[in-house]
Amino acid sequence: MSLERLDPTNPDPVVIARAATLLREGRLVAFPTETVYGLGANALDPAAVERIYVAKGRPAYNPLIVHIADPSQAMDVARAWNDRAERLARAFWPGPLTLVLPKRPEVPDSVTAGLDTVGVRVPRHPVAHALLAAAKIPVAAPSANRSTQVSPTTGDHVAKSLGDAVDLILDAGPTAVGIESTVLDLSGATPTLLRPGTISVPELESIAGPIAIATEGSGESARPSPGMLDKHYAPRARLVLADARDVGLRVEQERRRARTVGAIVISATLQSTPTVFRMPGDARGYAARLYDTLHALDDSGCDVIVVERVPESAEWLGVADRLRRAQSG
């Protein structure tokens, strides 16, 4: 495995050029985006895309997001672009928003898992942008972790999870957003939220008008994203959600069962230990810390993580979704 450390705001062009060449040759390059690290491959090369699925152990029914350097390249992979897409792109690109659009035939079925749509995103991270601009190809990139594990927010997380399965890891330190992009499906009559992120529903609606929210098992008008049905984002430890006033009690109960217990709290009063993590009280600050905290608790050998329930308001939807999915781990 090869790992290069880069200045996150001013990446070395020589390293970027080497990474871009690897991508053009069909190899795998892990790179930082503002959300999480991605495992990149040439989106127009089916053999390269196949390597992603093998490296991650990812089921073939879960489609990949295609990353582009500039909104003007969206039509290289999508065959329809309407006024709503234009407004959303202007408002949120570059940034943590993935738009699902009708796909062009040039995009291999392996990228879209056989769907007639493709997820497209223009990331905001300077390293991602430099890499995409140098490679001059659309880059398919899921989160750079083994399938079902917690997504990586540092180069070390990528190395720990994928190691030798990647040709090159570009490490630019921790990511700023910390959870995966908001995924919005624009292929139907009503825009549909497939995966909540840090861009909230009210923010999306202020630009796109009313949107539907896909729920698991819902009907055709709000069909879930294929990959969202699985256990996902799960740490090795068992995760238990508790109201603030019950966190201390739950921690004690688990300790009495001789478990190594970690905790993630916002306001709950709890004696401070190395495995008690106090999080920011705002959703964006919390999201930025969440995965690094789950990785740290896993590394410290916790069997159980007691997590204080987060607020139910719109801006917490992305964090609440990831915590709920992590519970099934």
Q: Which of 291, 283, 286, 285 is nearest to 315 (CA)?
A: 283
8 Å CB contact between 82 and 187:
no
Pick the closer one to Mg ion by CB: 64 or 208: 64
Query: Strand 97-102 and strand 182-185: pairing?
Result: parallel
CB burial of 57-87 (b: ≥16 within 10 Å; e: otherwise) equals ebeeebbbbbbbbebebbebbbeebeeebee
Other CB atoms within a 10 A radius of the CB of residue 35 amount to: 30
The residue among 108 and 227 lying less far from Mg ion, judged by its C-beta, is: 227
Task: Provide the minimum distance between the beta carbon of 210 and ligand TXA in the complex, in angstroms, as a whole number.
Answer: 20
Return the axis-axis angle of helices 317-327 and 283-299, rounded to nearest 10°.
20
Mask for 155-194, x = binds ligand TXA (CB under 6 A): -------------------------xx-x----------x
Which residue's beta carbon is nearest to the bound Mg ion?
A: 143
In the block, tokens 């880069």 appear at 6
Nearer to Mg ion, 98 or 143 (CB): 143
- Each residue 104-143 as x (binds ligand TXA by CB under 6 A) or -, in order, gives --------x--x-xxx-x-------------------xxx
Minimum gap (Å) between residue 110 Cβ and ligand TXA = 12
Question: Where on the chain is the footprint of Mg ion (CB under 5 A)?
Answer: 143
Residue 273 vs residues 96, 247, 260, 263: alpha-carbon distances, Å? 34, 14, 12, 9
Query: In angstroms, what is the minimal distance from the CB of 103 to ligand TXA?
Result: 7
**Per CB under 6 A, does 43 bind ligand TXA?**
no
What is the binding site for ligand TXA (CB under 6 A)? 33, 35-36, 38, 62-65, 96, 98, 100, 112, 115, 117-119, 121, 141-143, 180-181, 183, 194-195, 225-228
